[in-house]
Structure 1
């Protein structure tokens, strides 16, 4: 890799408009996730708090984490786990879940974290694609696992072992029993099973599923180590320079949540977690544990400004806010900065790559919609419909290339080939552009654009505009099929508390400022809440399904 130190503009842009990180590339260790994590943890103070449970106050130190994950790993070895088995987790965030995830890496087996909001049908479909499983679940989710096992006899052969993390269970093995079985034992080697970093899959992760059935994303050991190295820069002594206390709002089952879990642990940052993310619980935890760094999703931003409990708790410990998961409304972002006087940093990532961009920590300037510059060791470009790279301030599809790239979709060569071109560039499916300072902006998703005649309408643009209305709290826009083989925009809107506005007023609000193709011809529907995924993205598939069988005849 090129390690020469150039100025930002010499380093960042080549003749074909490929944008590079402003930082120098550095070598990615050719090792397994388990070996990398174990080595870095050994360099930290063993009494450093890794994880604190905000609900019961229980804590897990670096020593506690490494000791318990080796105990769990040893117990699983004695129960017959092999290199070909996958550890599947289906549970809410907890210290126990974190231990199991680290244990999977110490063993060298594949980890597949599943979102706790998945249902029987979704899990049943997923298990059709997998090999033998060791399952870890919670009491609340154990019935789903049992339903799947009972449904078909072949599932009993595939699900080799089930453990419940949070309580005793009349059928499955309690987590505490595994700890007792492995107590006092350590692994002869980490990872226990031999790992080929470039070839072997460390993590399987469901894609976001905003269009079509979610796919299983394969992430190699080499790719995830590349992600984790961004938490510990070259010449670091192992102690990260991030905020000392963070609050984890996202589930460990999504890429951002899993990355933060491992990344903060190896950089000496204490993570406060909870299985409750209502605004009062989060704000109370910030006050109680003096949280410095809070990762938020856009849906939570409004609660930080005018939520019911926002002025009830002392939030003066906050030093920075990191926003991800979806576009952050500009007016909300500005109000948050004004109220708390801390930086609001937006980043852009995806399951198939991890973080594509990194915020500019050297400036306090807030630029609405800006998601930063290319992340470490990462190349970005924007292409037009013909596949040609374009220059600054021109919208197109964002593509990424680098060592964090996923290995492909499990059992889906066609989808893999559609996503990654012959030169190793991943087509993200996101529309955006970069400015002359090489800062990136996300506009929309390719598959979510509304086709109105010959025009392509960005629902995100319409949503952002609707949020500038004083009465609108949240909005989602979709295209409703029209008999002319086109689509008409419709808005689903949640109003702010004690605010009143009718459909015609909102339609007029749009028509007064936006072009003809962006009018809400399919109307406005007022709702009590907007459905979102666990990482805060609007669940567009749900709203597209609502209108899929409609056909406007006018």
Structure 2
């Protein structure tokens, strides 16, 4: 009955609507901010939030007429484009569960994830349909394919959203039990294994979106290139719409287009993943980016060095705001509650409804301040569980989800991420965080990107090996980079496993380094 002094408790003062329906909530917010804008920064096409609301209602009615019922699963496979959002909200309004699919997946990867969620229908873009038509049609549980535009071969998305023109006051979303019924099945990143199906309820989403609104001292014009099939892009996008922000998006990241878009639309808020910020620090900026007032970064750790360098690129921006989250927590576990007092390297405080404990890696006992351990979290935003898995495999006896991330917090409850538990390199009993070595390598002027993994060593157990992508005109040797790291880090973190130069560092769409791919490269190297 008493609070544990080594637990960190987030604020709980949020207002959740009694209907507990995230589709209903989003529709109300879209209509509240119906004149709000979403802009394709590449084509300059402008759509209002009111138009998205209208298309979402029309789609929900059409899906119901086609036979979709509460609990059915609908897959969505598309690049970033404006129809994505009416597909998301319309599906949820119909009572169906949405599962988003990475259109860059191979046939085997798509077969795996859709075998988890088993969607009845697939909504997809023309590009996704062209690439994956055979795969979709090979899966027996898929009954219909809906394609954006006017597709003569399949069900046309345009027919569904323009066939009916539903009046808002006459529309009622399909009833759900928000505490138990799913709104989404998303997929964990899969950087340490095959992706798993993450079950997110309507209430999980409402706990993420219904935070007290903070008045901004400037007009929020948000630029995003994060893929919307991933939890960060998807949930951050919905959160932005629910607050009426103007959103400018790009289908993919291209440096020149990105900078040109900031200049053209006077973007004030940049939502990014660390690789974009790293790339910016290595770029000669020739556009006016002085409009940027705020930079949000998530999905993977960001070093203090890169964070400090970004402030020189965006001179009018406050310090980079980092958050820490994961698909299993809908979006965020920690965030900067005071956006004007962000500290480099800090990922913020416990977010609304979160309870966090950091446990000793051996004893599993809760730790006090400044002691790294595994992060465990519970709260309203934490997933219902994984599809087909017993909760006991991933939650402890107190209901805390074991994240597998290593972090610590200071005396003020500010959190700092160390690394993934499964990615720590064990050198002679010392635990070495790859992210720390990567941050040092990125300081070298010739290094464009870097990834570090442990490789077997007979005496030490494991030693760090770096994979390095050089700048187009950059030159560096293995010995030079080994010495560069040795001058800046303690002995367990030296690159005793060597350096291998590669064209690019493999990463998933959220920006996380795919270390299992680097380990495969390391094994191939050892066989040569």
Task: Verify same fold: TM over 0.5.
Answer: yes
Q: Residue 7 of structure 1 aligns with which residue?
A: none
Alpha-carbon deviation of 1:263?
0.9
Alpha-carbon deviation of 1:27?
4.6
Q: Is the 8 A contact 2:63 2:94 kept in 1?
A: no
Alpha-carbon deviation of 1:28?
3.5
Q: Is the 8 A contact 1:88 1:111 kept in 2?
A: yes
Alpha-carbon deviation of 1:359?
1.3
SS of structure 2 residue aligned to 1:217? strand
Moved more, 500-509 or 464-473: 464-473
The 1:544/1:217 distance shift into structure 2, 3 A limit, reads same
Alignment of 1:268-347 (within 5 A): 268-308=244-284, 310-311=285-286, 313-341=287-315, 342-343=317-318, 344-347=320-323
The 1:201/1:300 distance shift into structure 2, 3 A limit, reads same
Alpha-carbon deviation of 1:362?
5.0
2: CA distance between counterparts of 1:329 and 1:175?
43
Q: Residue 145 of structure 1 aligns with which residue?
A: 132
Alpha-carbon deviation of 1:179?
2.0
Q: Residue 5 of structure 1 aligns with which residue?
A: none
The 1:176/1:491 distance shift into structure 2, 3 A limit, reads same
2: CA distance between counterparts of 1:240 and 1:507?
45
Alpha-carbon deviation of 1:495?
2.2
Q: Is the 8 A contact 2:370 2:409 kept in 1?
A: yes
Q: Is the 8 A contact 1:348 1:371 kept in 2?
A: yes
Q: Is the 8 A contact 1:472 1:494 kept in 2?
A: yes
Alpha-carbon deviation of 1:489?
1.4
Alpha-carbon deviation of 1:517?
2.4
| 1:270-302 deviation digits (Å, cap 9, x = unpaired) | 111121211112112112222111111111113
The 1:521/1:401 distance shift into structure 2, 3 A limit, reads same
Alpha-carbon deviation of 1:248?
1.6
2:442 paired residue among 445, 467, 472: 467
2:157 paired residue among 155, 169, 175: 175
Q: Is the 8 A contact 1:88 1:113 kept in 2?
A: yes
| 1:315-355 deviation digits (Å, cap 9, x = unpaired) | 22211111111111322211211232212111111101120
1: CA distance between counterparts of 2:408 and 2:102?
31
Alignment of 1:344-423 (within 5 A): 344-353=320-329, 354-364=331-341, 367-385=343-361, 386-413=363-390, 416-423=391-398
Q: Residue 8 of structure 1 aligns with which residue?
A: none
Q: Is the 8 A contact 1:479 1:487 kept in 2?
A: yes
Q: Residue 35 of structure 2 aligns with which residue?
A: 47
2: CA distance between counterparts of 1:27 and 1:493?
48
2: CA distance between counterparts of 1:242 and 1:199?
38
Alpha-carbon deviation of 1:240?
7.9
For this pair of structures, how many residues does the alignment match? 523
2: CA distance between counterparts of 1:551 and 1:303?
31
Q: Is the 8 A contact 2:198 2:387 kept in 1?
A: yes
2: CA distance between counterparts of 1:185 and 1:340?
44
2: CA distance between counterparts of 1:40 and 1:498?
49
2: CA distance between counterparts of 1:159 and 1:352?
26
The 1:287/1:546 distance shift into structure 2, 3 A limit, reads same
Q: Is the 8 A contact 2:15 2:210 kept in 1?
A: no
Alpha-carbon deviation of 1:523?
0.9
Given the two structures, how large is their TM-score scaled by the length of structure 2?
0.93
Say if 2:234 is the partner of 1:246. no
Say if 2:195 is the partner of 1:207. no
Q: Residue 505 of structure 2 aligns with which residue?
A: 530
1:34 paired residue among 16, 23, 31: 23
| 1:253-279 deviation digits (Å, cap 9, x = unpaired) | 111111122111111101111212111
Alpha-carbon deviation of 1:132?
4.3
2: CA distance between counterparts of 1:279 and 1:34?
35
2: CA distance between counterparts of 1:513 and 1:93?
41
2: CA distance between counterparts of 1:504 and 1:208?
34
SS of structure 2 residue aligned to 1:545? helix
SS of structure 2 residue aligned to 1:128? helix
SS of structure 2 residue aligned to 1:332? helix
SS of structure 2 residue aligned to 1:182? coil
Say if 2:14 is the partner of 1:17. no
The 1:417/1:549 distance shift into structure 2, 3 A limit, reads farther
**Aligned-residue RMSD, C-alpha:** 2.4
Q: Is the 8 A contact 2:58 2:160 kept in 1?
A: yes
The 1:381/1:215 distance shift into structure 2, 3 A limit, reads same
The 1:552/1:134 distance shift into structure 2, 3 A limit, reads closer
Q: Is the 8 A contact 1:211 1:447 kept in 2?
A: yes
Alignment of 1:202-241 (within 5 A): 202-230=183-211, 232-233=212-213
Alpha-carbon deviation of 1:360?
4.1
Say if 2:144 is the partner of 1:161. yes
| 1:397-447 deviation digits (Å, cap 9, x = unpaired) | 11111111100000122xx32221121111111111011121100010000
2: CA distance between counterparts of 1:429 and 1:241?
37
Q: Is the 8 A contact 1:481 1:548 kept in 2?
A: no
Alpha-carbon deviation of 1:74?
1.6
Alpha-carbon deviation of 1:243?
4.6
Q: Residue 482 of structure 2 aligns with which residue?
A: 507
Mind listing any 5+ residue stretches in structure 1 that lack a counterpart? 3-12
Alpha-carbon deviation of 1:511?
2.9
1: CA distance between counterparts of 2:416 and 2:392?
26
